[in-house]
Amino acid sequence: MLGVDPRCRRLSLIDLFELRNLLDLARERGTTIPSLLEAWVESTIPDLSLRDWLTTDGPGVPIDETEPEWRTFVYRRLEPPPGSHAD
């Protein structure tokens, strides 16, 4: 099936954050996962990572200007404790 059936595109390997990039970008651009995957695997650089393609020949990475939860989590723990003399 893989590599034999002409309908079947090449196997893609992505990591979790690239999956999130893919889904966010599909939503942001009003397109679908298959459309983005098709553009990547048919590009001239399918051997590079999805992230590399998105940031070079591809449509770019999704833009999210909200403060991510993980950053708030980290910053809160790095704030000087109340009563410290740090300015």
Partner 1 sequence: MLPMSEVLWILAQLANRAEQAGRDGQVELAQQLVPAPLLPRALELVSSPPRVVTSPQLVLQLALRALLHCDPSGDQVADLEEVARILGLLLLALADHVPHDSGSTEALMLELVRNELFFRVHGQLDRYEEAYELFFHTLPQLAGHPDLIDVDAVLRQAHGVSLEGFWTLTVAAGIVAAGDPRPLTFPLKIEGDPIDPQTVARWESTWSINLPTAQRLAREDLASGSGWSFTAFYERPILTSSDGRRFAMRAHYLSDKAAPTGMFWAVARAWKQLGRDHEQWARLFGAAVEARGLQLVTAHVGDPARLFDDDQLRGMWGAGSGEKVCDLLVPYPDAWVAFEFVHRNLTKATQTTGAYLDLLKDLELAVLEKADQLDATLERGLAANTLPSPDRIFPVIVTGASLPANPLLSKPSQPP
Note the residues at the interface with partner 1 (CB under 8 A).
1-5, 7-17, 19-21, 23, 26-27, 32-34, 37-38, 41, 46-49, 51-52, 55, 68-70, 73-74, 77-81, 84-86
Tokens of 22: 């893919």
Shortest reach from residue 64's CB to partner 1, in Å: 10
CA dihedral 53, 54, 59, 60 (to 10 degrees): -140
Shortest reach from residue 33's CB to partner 1, in Å: 5
Cα–Cα distance for residue pair 11/37, rounded to 1 Å: 10
Cα–Cα distance for residue pair 35/26, rounded to 1 Å: 9
Shortest reach from residue 28's CB to partner 1, in Å: 12
